[in-house]
Structure 1
Amino acid sequence: MELPTIPYNSSEYIETDTGNKVSRKSVICGGQNIILAGKTIIQTGCVIRGDLRRAGAGHAVAIAIGRYCLLGQKSVIRPPHKTLKGVFGYFPMKIGDNVMIGENSIVEAASIGSFVQIGKNCIIGRFAIIKDCCRIEDNTIIAPNIIVPSFSVYSGNPGTFSGELPECTQEMYEARSKEFYTKFTPQ
């Protein structure tokens, strides 16, 4: 099914040299600690917390986001944290290519593989690992430290395995994310 054109107000978005489209109404903290690989869309109200990083000298990558990703409206992306040997610390988060994160979702995963769709109103717990080619249904809560295997569908509260995805998932998700980027055009 082909997506319709998704218009946006060109004065509301900044387009970078690498093709990222970032809403002026999003909140990006610690931008020097965030890497966007290119052609990523950060929608209105999205919060990315790059300021939450390991302490120490120099810049450390807190969040790395791949190509052709979509961070939905009012989603929150923040690196996971824990206390280790009495010291509180944040750990880096990696998001692969062709990842779509739905509206109002909160993500604190250690890593999200490529070709992943996270639905609306989801919570991805601290240090969760979502492998390549997965779908997290709307309103799902993935508990901390869970590993979601490739080609699986998770749903519910708490999130549990609810189905498998076909082998063509990678091609479908890649086509969908590229089509969304192409159809996301200024008015």
Structure 2
Amino acid sequence: MELPYVTYKKSDFIETDTGNKISRQSLISGSQNIVLGGKTIVHPHCTIRGDLRRSGPTHQASVLIGRFCSLGSYSVLRPPYKTYKGVFSYYPLKVGDFVDIGEGSIVEAASVGSWVKIGRGCVVGRFAFIKEGCVLEDGAVVPPGMVVPPFSVVTKHGVMAMPESVQDVLELAAKDRYAKFVPL
């Protein structure tokens, strides 16, 4: 499937030294606790909550995002939390390389593997683990704590297996998406 070129107004985005393109209309809270691996696109109105992090003397990033990711408009990425022995704590959210998060999706997982496509309007619950090579179709819901096996498709009706060759397809699509996101 050939992806179309997407143009953007250069003044509406901040481009980092590592090639990340971050919309000035996105909401990035606690940027010192967010790590972007490079060549990631953060679309307008995307919210990344780096301010929600474990307190204490050690500095640990609360949101880690890999290379060649696309974070859709109106999507929300926030670290998962839980109360353990009466202490409320946030834990890191780790997103692998070549991940596409669709418009309006909410991700509160512990881990999203590489080569993952999360469709529009998906909800990924707290401490869920999405393994590599998975596709979440539009509107899919992954309940808290669920582990989605590698190379699976999650639909509104359940989970199905997928061939391992999807990894190559998703990687090429991620690189193509970044290459075709060009200024006017």
Question: Could you state the TM-score of these two structures normalised by the residue count of structure 1?
Answer: 0.96
Aligned residue number for residue 168 of structure 2: 171
Give the total of aligned pairs: 184
Deviation digits for residues 62-96 of structure 1 (CA, Å, limit 9, x no counterpart): 01000000000000000000000001110011100
Aligned residue number for residue 77 of structure 2: 77
Q: Distance in 1 between matches of 2:127 and 2:121?
A: 19
Pairs within 5 Å for 1:1-187:
1-156=1-156, 160-161=158-159, 163-187=160-184
Residue identity over aligned pairs, in percent, reads 54
Displacement, 1:3?
1.4
5+ residue gaps in structure 2?
A: none
Write the letter of the residue equivalent to 2:71.
Answer: L
Q: Which moved more, 1:107-116 or 1:163-172?
A: 163-172
Displacement, 1:155?
1.2
5+ residue gaps in structure 1?
A: none
Secondary structure at 2:169's aligned position in 1?
helix
Displacement, 1:60?
1.8
Secondary structure at 1:32's aligned position in 2?
helix
Q: CA RMSD of the aligned region, Å?
A: 0.9
Does the 8 Å CA contact 1:8/1:184 hold for their aligned counterparts? yes
Q: List structure 1 runs of 4+ shifted beyond 4 angstroms.
A: none
Question: Could you state the TM-score of these two structures normalised by the residue count of structure 2?
Answer: 0.98
Does the 8 Å CA contact 1:26/1:44 hold for their aligned counterparts? yes
Write the letter of the residue equivalent to 1:155.
Answer: T
Secondary structure at 1:37's aligned position in 2?
strand
Q: Distance in 2 between matches of 1:179 and 1:35?
A: 22
